[in-house]
Amino acid sequence: MRLILIMSFFVVLGCTKKTETTLLQEKEIALAQPKVSSTSAIIDSSVVVTAALKLDGVEIFYTDDGSDPTTESKKYEGPFASSSEGIYTFKAFHPSWKSSKVSTLKLYKKGIVPSSIKWHTSPNNAYEGLGTSTVINQEKAGLNFRSKQWVGFDSIAVADLYFGKKMFVETISIGYLVDVASWIFPPTSVRISSDEMDTIEMEIPRLNQQKPKALHDVQVPIGKELSAMRIEIMNLDQIPDWHDGKGNKAWLFMDEWIVK
């Protein structure tokens, strides 16, 4: 009987140590990021936002102002409708695992749809998107640069937007892709001009190191009544020295131009 008790003690002790070791190992492993999506990235009346991570015991929290979610943030209970633009961030939590990295979803309000667009430069033949109106078709692209929602240039991009009549334009947002592994870099600057306004130019910071693949946009303030405007988007002259493709032409990929 004494031998059986001693053996039982060591079995229990061994199981306890194993359980503690397993829990410690779990605490060192981070959860995967939640998968987030919406029925559209551009809001007309409303869109439906969905987040998911298939693991028992996981809770997802989110914010709609771009801040890092905590367990004090709004709890994701299931798909929800949103009519407000903003940067939605989601993070997964579990009592036995490290919290996940943040997943981000940016939503935009539908803007003024120009009556027409006239290009003065042409995209590369391999990346013509859906045609001349790709950047004003009210559809945002994903991270895959081969999607038809992207237009790709290896030089400057210049186009005129026409509105059919004079109207007040508050801002224009230019969407672009950063995918340095595919030699796709941010534009260096955006220049806006028209007969009704002085030229506005915004510089875009250049990358000085490798960055993750991501969607970006630059918002240019206009604040004028106008019937047309010219948009000039400057491409990087050559890939910088820190990149494997140094000295070669960089690619410029754009999706939606949102006018408000």
**What token pair was written down for 2?**
């004494």
Q: Per CATH, which fold does 116-259 belong to?
A: Jelly Rolls (2.60.120)
With contact defined as beta carbons under 8 Å apart, do 192 and 127 qualify? no
Cβ atoms of residues 111 and 157 within 8 Å? no
Q: Starting at the earlier edge strand, list the strands of the sheet with 80-82.
A: 35-38, 47-52, 80-82
27 falls in which pLDDT band (50, 70, 90)? low
- Write down the domain spans for the chain: 27-109, 116-259
Q: pLDDT of 91-147, one tens digit each?
A: 999 999 999 999 999 999 999 999 999 999 999 999 999 999 999 999 999 999 999
Q: Considering the entire predicted model, what is its pTM?
A: 0.82
Question: pLDDT (tens digit, 9 = 90+) per residue, 172-221?
Answer: 999 999 999 999 999 999 999 999 999 999 999 999 888 889 999 999 99
Burial classification of residue 157, based on how many CB atoms lie within 10 Å of its CB (0-12 exposed, 13-18 middle, 19 or more buried): buried
Closest CA to 175 of 112, 236, 113, 233: 233
Q: Which two tokens stand for residue 38?
A: 């919406």
- Number of CB atoms found within 10 A of residue 185's CB: 26
| Average of per-residue pLDDT values in the chain | 90
Which tokens go with 218? 């630059």
Cβ contact 172:222 at 8 Å: yes
Q: Which CATH class is domain 27-109?
A: mainly beta
